[in-house]
Amino acid sequence: MASPRGAAAEIASPRGAAELTSPRGAATVAARLLRWFDANRRDLPWRRGCDPWAIWVSEVMLQQTRVEAVREPFVRFLRQFPTPTAFAAASDDELLTAWRGLGYYRRARLLRDGARQVVAQHGGRVPGAVGELAELPGIGAYTLGAVASIAFGHAEVAIDGNVERVVARHRGLREVTSTAAARRTIRATVGGWLDAARAGDFNQAVMELGAMVCTPTSPNCAACPVAADCVARALGLTAQLPARKPKRASIEVAARAVLVVGSRGVLGHRVAAGEPNVGQIELPGAGMLCSCDPGDLAAVVFRRFGARLSVGSVVASVRHAITHHRIELHAHAATGKSLGTLGWFAVDQATPWTTPSRKVFLAALGADGVMHA
């Protein structure tokens, strides 16, 4: 069971599994994966064309985000920003509203930085050379492999969490990212399987298999095109491989904010640097990651914003998650005596309200969450 020093931890393989590293075995794996993908690929908006910009946008959106959560924002984003040139000119507020619902807004800012470099250095066209793609802001190893292979057909691998899980189970690997040796093993395995003639489809096939069949729990081995030589399946270890890091304990937050509605909209503030959702507009309170007692809310708002408000009862309670924080946000009706540094903001799709604030509007102000005159 012990592994050689410097190598990835690997379970003893059934007879014949070692052949998978041979050119013939690798070709067999690739062929099965591609046949399965051709028959089972999902109809996703970003798969309906080969525009490098659209593919780049989709890959950035899909990082740390579920596919179903990306469908609508992707279509909306491309309608507003169909080219790198259009997005390069976007203001901060336009960026934030276009990215609403996806979280991790730093991705959007890096994408805009990349679009601006494309405009400045490549005439507004996403470069097709791997080296030039790699120099764009926000293009890491995974995004580089995905865009280079899917948009331009380069024989580059794209390794995300789904791919790591598929390879770990198929090869019988305990670890996938905890050591440099494990990462090298994963990359070497995928590179050995890669069908250079259909590199983009191959990368999507492995990712699709991990998302739809070789799932983190309860994998559907009966539907897997490479199950016949999967080490984890042969040894009954699909539930154990790859080894999972212990989940970080959740932090429960009882946040509170005031909801002050007027003829000019709702009172809010722009989130400062160093806080979650920087640059967006948020309902006034102690902050989304800070618990607050109801009796302290007025004093907290005065201390932070210099606003003197009369705080009433709770009119909406909503739940939200930010990283490992599990937030229950209680919004209290309030009236203003003096507003301090707070300002009036319209409740519409053009104003970059935070997602928790929008949830409050939906709960407290109507079915569509929009203020009406």
Q: What is the pLDDT of residue 13?
A: 53
Tokens 């899917």, residue?
Answer: 150
Nearest to 282 by CA among 267, 264, 269, 300: 269
Query: How much helix, strand and coil, in percent to the nearest 5, is found in the chain?
Result: 45, 15, 40
* Whether residue 220 is found in the same domain as residue 296: no
**What residue spans of 194-295 are helical by DSSP H?**
199-212, 231-234
What is the structure's pLDDT at 371? 45
- Identify whether 96 is part of a domain: yes
My answer on whether 121 and 227 are in the same domain is: yes
Q: Are 184 and 327 members of one domain? A: no
- Tens digit of each residue's pLDDT (9 = 90 or more) over 76-125: 999 999 999 999 999 999 999 999 989 899 999 999 999 999 999 999 99
Cα dihedral 320/325/331/335 (nearest 10)? -130
Q: Which tokens is 48 given?
A: 């309906």
Final residue in a domain of this structure, among 234, 262, 277 = 234
Do 90 and 203 sit in the same domain of this protein? yes
Instruction: Look up residue 8 and give its two tokens.
Output: 């990835």
Is 207 part of a structural domain of the chain? yes
Nearest-angstrom CA–CA distance, 161 and 150: 18
Of 234, 264, 289, which closes a domain?
234
Is residue 59 part of the annotated active site? The answer reads yes
Q: In the block, which residue shows the tokens 């408000």?
A: 309
Q: Inform me whether the pLDDT recorded for 207 exceeds 70.
A: yes
The mean pLDDT value for 25-47 works out to 93
First to last CA, the chain: 70
Active-site residue (options: 10, 59, 156, 164): 59
**What stretch of H or E contains 53?**
helix 52-62
Structural domain span for residue 175: 17-234
In a 3-state reduction of DSSP, which class is residue 206? helix
**238 has a pLDDT exceeding 90:** yes
Same domain, 212 and 284: no
Q: Provide CB contacts within 8 A for 353, sequence distance 6+.
A: 268, 280, 281, 282, 345, 347, 361
Q: Are 220 and 261 members of one domain?
A: no
Q: Which amino acid is residue 316, in one-letter code?
A: A
Report helix, strand or coil for 343. strand
| Residues 224 and 263 reside in one and the same domain | no
Cβ within 8 Å of residue 160, ≥6 positions away: 142, 207, 210
Residue 218 shares a structural domain with residue 346: no
pLDDT in tens, 135-194: 999 999 999 999 999 999 999 999 999 999 999 999 999 888 778 888 899 999 999 999
pLDDT of residue 149: 98
Contact residues for 235 (Cβ-Cβ < 8 A; gap 6+): 11, 14, 172
Which of 354, 345, 348 minimizes the C-alpha distance to 366?
348
> What CATH number should be reported for the domain holding residue 279?
3.90.79.10
